Structure formats: structure tokens, C-alpha cells
Structure 1
Amino acid sequence: MAASNVLAATLKSLHRPGKPIIFTNVYDVLSARAVAALPSCKALATASYAVARANGTEDDDMDAQTNLRAVLPIAKVAAEFNKPFTVDIQDAYGEKLEEDVNKDTQKFYSQQEAVERIRRTLKVAESLGVKDFVVNARCDVLVHGGQLSEVLTRGKAYLAAGATSVFVWGGSQRGVSRDEVATMVKEFDGRLNVSMKLSPDGLNASQLSEIGVSRISIGPAIQFIAMDTYAKEAEKILTSV
């Protein structure tokens, strides 16, 4: 196996239904180093929302150059710890990368177009010696008010095109229900990525594992906690005299 494909193959092998890879998404060198040093950390992943905030912009306004410039130092941390690394490419930047909603127009690509975009991504990766490149194909049907039936149809097509998993996001308000997760796990043979809420009313990692997902992420949740703690500690110092 080519050296450039070893970590990709490792990452792909960590997507196991019922024993999922869990990402506590990082956003800069400090957060990456803190997580990568943990023996329990199997791989690193960014959250584009958190990366954008750490670089003085918002997710919807962050361009590809800003994202890639920000994640290169994180990639060096991943290489230092010899751990796989996956990057959240927010909204796929229109024609440059692969996703099912056009960031600029907010219109869905047809299923056929979305499938071809996934195939092109994998073809480019293979040409660079990374035949096991992991594509976590995002499907935004639910957050745009669509039906689960379309999610299932699209998701199956994305997986057939070579995606390792399907990330179905319901948005911060709607979310995705337990029944919907269970249905998608069944229809996708477990190849589902769920964004886990760090709250008592959300499904925890153990519950999601029992349902059978293969990938769990948390987005910018820890960044929110970290910055809240940072502010509180600063306030203690600033008001101490």
C-alpha cells in the first residue's frame, strides 16, 4: 500500500457500524494538539464552523483558501502524532468540491450531479495515490425542509458512488430524531455520521453506538465550552481587585 494511502485506509477502517469513530472536532493547533495527545483519540477532524470563528469570520462567509490555510497547521499536528485527519469542507464551495447543495445559490444539485461530484473527488484522490480516501457525503435535505424519503434515496446513491458515510444534518433547531437515525442506519447499513448534541436531551455516544452508526461528530460544541470557560476565568481575574 502506498505510504500516502495508509492513513486514509486506517480512517476508513475506523468507520464501523455499532463501534463508530468519534470525532471531538478541533479548530486550531492548540485544540488539535490537546486532542491528538489523548490515547483515546483515533483520528482528528475539524469543524468548519469552529475553524471560521477561530479565523475571524463566519461559516457561511469562509472561503476555501481561509479554511485550507487554517487546517494545514492542524494537519502537521496529525502527522506528528501519526493519526488520520479529515477536514470539514463547509458547503463544498460551489464547483470546487463535492456536496449536494450549492453554497452560492442554496439550491440542491440533482442526485445525478451530486453523485458525479463524489465520483470525481474519489477519482482525483486515487490519481494522487489515495484510493481509500474517505468522503463523508453531507446531505442537507432535512435542514432545508425536505423529507426523509429523499434523504434515503440520495444517501444510498452517495454510498454507491463510493462515499464512506453519509452525514445528515437536521440543523440546530430541527435536529434528527432517534427514529430517523434508526431508519437511516438500517437503510445505509450503518454508514451514517451523526452530529451528537452535548446536552441531556440528545442521544449520547453509547446510545448512538447501540443504534448502529459508524461515525459521530460534535461540530463546534467544545469550542463553545472552551471560550465560555476562558471568558469566565478572565472575568475572575479582571474583577479580583
Structure 2
Amino acid sequence: MSTQNDIAKAFKALHKPGNPIILTNVWDAITAKTVASLPATKALATASYAIAAAAGTPDEELTLEVNLRAVEAIAKIAKQFDLPLTVDFQDGFGDQLEEGLRAVIKLGAVGINLEDLSRESNRLYSIEEAQERIRRVMKIAEEEGVPDFVVNARTDALFTSPSNDLDEAIARGKAYLAAGASNIFIWGGPSRKGWGKAGIEEATKVLKGRLNVILVRMAPGGLSVKELGEIGVSRISVGPQLMIRTSGAVAEEANAILEGQSI
């Protein structure tokens, strides 16, 4: 019987530069079961923005308690389908980092996304502070019996710096890998300024492929899964895009019903 750390090791091994793991992020038990049922699904991943939206709150106001309730339901599906689960954990919910991490590990998670933008101050943690938080995560995970826990360390430096500086984001990524993160997620921000193919190629080269990139499905011009794989990234996710597209489909169907259209 596989231990939780066996599952963590298997999940970590799926992060292969040039042959990336693809995560179609979910937000509740229904979406988790739908995605888990697909033969190509290798793991489940949550999206905090979508979880917050489902709870009727903005992403920046999502509480640890609300996030954990959603994770609990999704974790049951992950266990049912014998799939690894990674949780979008924002910045670790400030001072609740240890409490929350132990809770998600007890629910069965084998990885998290951890951001370097503080919810409380809306400013980036210093590199040293962010590194220490990653080290704390890995120490707690080891104490909980999951030393191969997968931290996907997200940096928001690209869109928060006045110069939109990719160099700072890459430097932070290198520092986070040195602190124990398995992978780096450089987020371009809501407007995606300064983050395109050339930037992804540069970051992939410096970080030796240990890069998570968002697959853009909601706007023209985004790189395909094939193109991102050829660049050499090791992880592709979609964030809340499935939730946004699903909402549109529900609205369209509901409107047809309300207008008296037959199927």
C-alpha cells in the first residue's frame, strides 16, 4: 500500500522538463470528480481564485477555513481515484502557515502552491523571508511524514515590480529552489505584461526547466501545450479558467431554458 510520501514522490517525478505534467485546476467535489474521471489526468490541483468565487468571496479575502472545506471535499475524490493532490495555498495565510499546512497534509495533499506576495501587506516578502517560509513548509512536511512534499513556489515579482523585471522573478525562483521548492511559478499578473515566449524560454533555461506556466485558454495568442513542452517547462496549469468558462456555459444554458427554448 502506498504511503502519502510515496504519492508525493510519484507526483514530484511527474514534473519532467520537456514533458510537463498538465493540471486542469478544480474547485469543488463535482469538478474534481469530473477531471479525475478523465484517463489523461495524472493529478488534481485546486485553484484558490475559483474556490473563493464558489464561496462568494474575492480571492484576496479567501480564509484558511473556507479553503480547507473545499480541499476536504476534493481530497476525498483524489483518494477515491488514487491521484496526487496539490493545493493552491496562496501565501500560506500569513501566520496560519503551520496550522494550515498540517491540515492540508492530514487531508492527503502532497504539494502546495506558495506565493511570495503577502496577503496582509500586499507587498512581496523579502527573498530571505520567502525562503524561510519554504524551509518551514518542508520542515513541517517532514514532521508529518512527507519529506518529498512538492512546493510550487510562486513569485509575483514580475507584475509587482515597477519595471516589470523578469530578472528579479528569475532570481527569486533560483533562491526558492535553493530553499527546497521543487518548482517555480512565475505569474505574469492580471494583464500578463512582459511575460511571453522569450521570457518563458529565458526562465526555463536559467531554472533548468523547473518552471510552471499558465496555459492561456481565455485569450488569443497563448502558447499551446506542445509549444510549452518544446520550450522545456515541467508543469502547466490553467488556474481559474475552467471555472470562468463553465460559468459562461451555465449562463448560456440557463438563458436558453428561461427563454423557453427546447433542447
Provide TM-score, normalisation by structure 1: 0.96
Partner Cα separation in structure 2 for residue 21 and residue 73 of structure 1: 23
Partner Cα separation in structure 2 for residue 57 and residue 109 of structure 1: 24
Contact 1:137–1:167 (8 Å) recurs in 2: yes
Partner Cα separation in structure 2 for residue 188 and residue 196 of structure 1: 19
Contact 1:21–1:216 (8 Å) recurs in 2: yes
Partner of 1:114: 130
Instruction: Confirm or deny that 1:138 pairs with 2:138.
Output: no
Partner of 1:218: 238
Report which stretch shifted further, 168-177 or 149-158. 168-177
Q: Deviations over 1:142-189 (max 9, x none)?
A: 120341111121110101111110111011213421111000000000
For residue 197 of structure 1, the aligned residue among 216, 222, 230 is 216
Q: Which secondary structure state, in structure 2, belongs to the residue aligned with residue 96 of structure 1?
A: helix
Provide TM-score, normalisation by structure 2: 0.88
Q: What is the correspondence of 1:21-40 to structure 2 with a 5 Å cutoff? A: 21-40=21-40
For residue 204 of structure 2, the aligned residue among 168, 185, 188 is 185
Report which stretch shifted further, 96-105 or 12-21. 96-105
Report which stretch shifted further, 129-138 or 169-178. 169-178
Partner of 1:239: 259
Instruction: Confirm or deny that 1:58 pairs with 2:76.
Output: no
What is the aligned residue count? 241
Contact 1:92–1:103 (8 Å) recurs in 2: no
Partner Cα separation in structure 2 for residue 114 and residue 169 of structure 1: 16
Give the 4+ runs in structure 1 shifted more than 4 A. Answer: none
Partner letter of residue 213 of structure 2?
V
Question: Structure 1 residues 2 and 240 mapped into 2: Cα distance closer, same or farther (>3 Å)?
Answer: closer
Shift, 1:231, TM fit: 1.1
Question: Structure 1 residues 222 and 150 mapped into 2: Cα distance closer, same or farther (>3 Å)?
Answer: same
Partner Cα separation in structure 2 for residue 120 and residue 89 of structure 1: 14
Partner of 2:139: 123
Q: Which secondary structure state, in structure 1, belongs to the residue aligned with residue 128 of structure 2?
A: helix
The percent identity for this pair of structures is 49
Shift, 1:107, TM fit: 1.8
Partner letter of residue 127 of structure 1?
E
Partner Cα separation in structure 2 for residue 188 and residue 219 of structure 1: 22
Partner Cα separation in structure 1 for residue 243 and residue 119 of structure 2: 24
For residue 151 of structure 1, the aligned residue among 147, 156, 169 is 169
Shift, 1:2, TM fit: 7.1
Q: Which secondary structure state, in structure 2, belongs to the residue aligned with residue 162 of structure 1?
A: coil
Partner Cα separation in structure 2 for residue 76 and residue 40 of structure 1: 19
Q: Which secondary structure state, in structure 1, belongs to the residue aligned with residue 159 of structure 2?
A: coil
Contact 2:115–2:156 (8 Å) recurs in 1: no
Partner Cα separation in structure 1 for residue 200 and residue 70 of structure 2: 32
Contact 1:141–1:147 (8 Å) recurs in 2: yes
Partner of 2:181: 163
Shift, 1:95, TM fit: 2.8
Contact 1:45–1:85 (8 Å) recurs in 2: yes
Question: Structure 1 residues 2 and 41 mapped into 2: Cα distance closer, same or farther (>3 Å)?
Answer: closer
Q: Deviations over 1:53-80 (max 9, x none)?
A: 1111110111111101111010000000
Partner letter of residue 28 of structure 2?
D
Contact 1:143–1:169 (8 Å) recurs in 2: yes
Across the aligned residues of Structure 1 and Structure 2, the Cα RMSD in angstroms comes to 1.4
Q: Deviations over 1:99-158 (max 9, x none)?
A: 322111012221111111101100100111101100000101012034111112111010
Contact 1:2–1:129 (8 Å) recurs in 2: no
Contact 1:99–1:117 (8 Å) recurs in 2: no
